Amino acid sequence: MTATVPPTPSDSPIPEQAGRVELPPGTVLTDNRFVNDDLLPVPLARRRWTTYNFAALWVGMAHNIPSWLLASGLVALGMDWKQAVFTIALANVIVLAPMLLTGHAGPKYGIPFPVLARASFGLRGANLPALIRAGVACAWFGIQTWIGGQGIFVLLGKLLGGWAEASEVGGQPWTLWVCFVLFWALELAIIYRGMEALRRFENWAAPFVIVGALVLLVWIANKAGGLGPLLDQPSRLGWGADFWPVFFPSLMGMIAFWSTLSLNIPDFTRFGAGQRAQVWGQTLGLPTTMTLFALLSVFVTSGSQAVYGAAVWDPVALAARTDNVFGLLFALVTVLVATISVNIAANVVSPAYDLANLAPRLINFRTGALVTGVVGVLIMPWKLTETPELYIFTWLGLVGGLLGTVAGILIADYWLIRRTVLDLPALYTPGGRYWYTSGWNLRAVAAFVVGGVLAVGGSHSAPGKGPFPEDGLIPFLKPLADYGWAVGLGASLVVYVGLTAGRRRS
């Protein structure tokens, strides 16, 4: 089957309203190798997400257990709390830039990430970046679901007693498996209802989680009689020669935390009422929320140090120390809402669209979400979190390092080569201007290979601590390993522009 489209853009102008484009009237796209209802552009009438919706989305995603623990990792490296919060804030200001650049195509054309990738990689080639993004998301979905299940297990065990002593199945108490499965099913039930259900969920989840974090702060500050001694502890690194070798790799790590969303943010912005909504919503929602959350984690942990004699960074472990039933129930609901909020938005939406792009005739958004849930269990997240050197650094670290490379190509193609002008019907039409060589743009593949090798080729491990050679996979690239995201983005952008500039935009 082939798509039926107007002969040329000039024969049937694409309707545009305030910088937003939709398919020309009468366009019929019927090739189900590249089209289904979930991949088609969102009609203008359904692009109605506001600034608040995008800000709420980021508040809901940023407020989760792993992001709460980011500052603790930096303090463990020797930073004081001010240096840790500064590093997190700067990283999120930096990652906001590619987030806004790739997000621009969403409100303008109403297309998801894998369809945008067709412009640069080709209709078939877009499956390469889409599946890389999907793989990372499936792994993180499983990890976040396991973390959420553990949080529920800990808090319910405190409420009900005896849960931790339950008989074991597969090396874990059967009650933990029950928490994991129920949490997994609840996540999929929400996302199965579609993106509008996600928007409504994030709208109320965002303020609820903020209130939950502030309640935790008030509780521990009242219990400690202040904010505790952590705020007075000096940096072990100072601001001199010892600080910068730790700062720059840490900065890259903090950037990498949301680099996944910098690729597939069009999956959300395609529902935006306009560029102003996505720009202001993301600007107000991402760096401010992550910085505030880092501050809250530092203040709460400092209070815990004063109360218990040792810093308790894990908010679930801290909440479990209260004997107040209402407080435990409130903490339980907060953990539930916070983890669901980030997991279904950050780790289910993207692979659902990516898998739909792989086989549109067989997989729609809902089917893709269910496949994500199944894969998230099959990768055994309980193993991923138990042996991070082998699993996380091999799988998430290596594959995740390629995401900056993809971002560089997308930004170069959309902004520098095409100047944000896309032929919307051709993104779904085999044999059209984005067909390239049998559906693959070999220039994008070449840029991806160069950027990817530079980004991850120097991956190395300390002796006995991981799967990589001590001197790096490619020894002379070892100095680049700690800057993989930035190296991949910059290298692929330069190579793609170099290979493409001067050629006819098509």
Mean pLDDT confidence for 190-205: 77
What's at 93, amino acid-wise? V
Distance of alpha carbon 358 from alpha carbon 347, whole angstroms: 17
Distance of alpha carbon 201 from alpha carbon 52, whole angstroms: 13
257-272 pLDDT per residue, tens: 888 888 999 999 999 9
Mean pLDDT confidence for 394-417: 85
What's at 329, amino acid-wise? L
437-491 pLDDT per residue, tens: 999 999 999 999 999 999 989 887 777 776 788 888 899 998 888 788 889 999 9
304 close to 124: Cβ distance less than 8 angstroms = no
**Taking the CB of residue 60, how many other CB atoms lie within 10 A of it?**
30
pLDDT at residue 16 above 90? no
Q: To the nearest whole percent, how much of the chain has pLDDT over 70? A: 92
Angle between helices 113-121 and 127-160 (to 10 degrees): 150
How far are the Cα atoms of 59, 61, 214, 277 from residue 284, in angstroms, in the given order? 9, 13, 19, 10
45 close to 271: Cβ distance less than 8 angstroms = no
**Taking the CB of residue 224, how many other CB atoms lie within 10 A of it?**
18
Report the chain's mean pLDDT, rounded to a whole number: 84
Q: To 5 degrees, how large is the angle CA 462–CA 464–CA 467?
A: 80
pLDDT at residue number 114? 96
pLDDT at residue number 438? 95
Query: Tokens for 67?
Result: 């992001």
Q: Answer with the residue of higher pLDDT: 130 or 237.
A: 130
pLDDT at residue number 148? 85
